[in-house]
Amino acid sequence: MKKNHFLAVSKPFLIFASLFFFTSLWAQQNSYRSTSSDDFWEKVQFGGGIGLSFGSGYTDIALSPSAIYNFNETFALGMSLQGGYISSKNYYKSYTYGGSLIGLINPIPQIQLSAELEQLRINTDYIYLESDNFWNTALHLGAGYRSGNVTIGARYDVLHDDNKSIYSDAFMPFVRVYF
């Protein structure tokens, strides 16, 4: 029987996010006192990523919209949808889709720590081999320098397996932008 990696990872992630959420609520004064339901949308930020790469017989297209809710100046929680298409002429075509949950902690305004649980479905059709369809789970822990709405940093996939992961390396740089 195959173990569902998403369920195995989701419990520790929820515990991890809950600990940071409750710690930040207790440790910080609440300067975000809500008086109306309109305040909800004032705390929401939208962002995402777009990736395009074209070459000699190679195409890579990715789209990843996301949104976060700022509970206070220190803690935000959000989610992202992801979709992608990769093609290598005369070799394979691959489609990816899925989503992720992300928790962001800003211990000071310039530093951002993150935990992101990602679940992606990968459907690959090889020209000369059988198709390969599977789920990939990743748990990225990261840190970055934050200036305004932009964070530049690096993240590490603690669940990375060289034989199973869709990412070639567990360590990845990132640029995160929310408006």
Smallest CA-to-CA distance from 55 within 85, 84, 89 is with: 89
Buried b (16+ CB within 10 A) or exposed e, 44-74: ebebbeeeeeeeeeeeeeeebebebebbbeb
Q: What is the largest CA-CA distance in the chain?
A: 62
Which residue ranges form the domains of the chain, and what is each CATH number?
Answer: 5-26+44-177 (2.40.160)
* CB atoms inside a 10 Å sphere around CB 153: 18
pLDDT surpasses 70 at 4:
no
Q: Considering the entire predicted model, what is its pTM?
A: 0.74
* pLDDT tier, 164 (very low <50, low <70, confident <90, very high otherwise): confident
Per-residue pLDDT of 33-83, as tens digits, reads: 555 666 899 999 999 888 899 898 899 999 999 999 999 999 999 999 999
Mean pLDDT of the chain: 84
Share of the chain above pLDDT 70, in %: 79
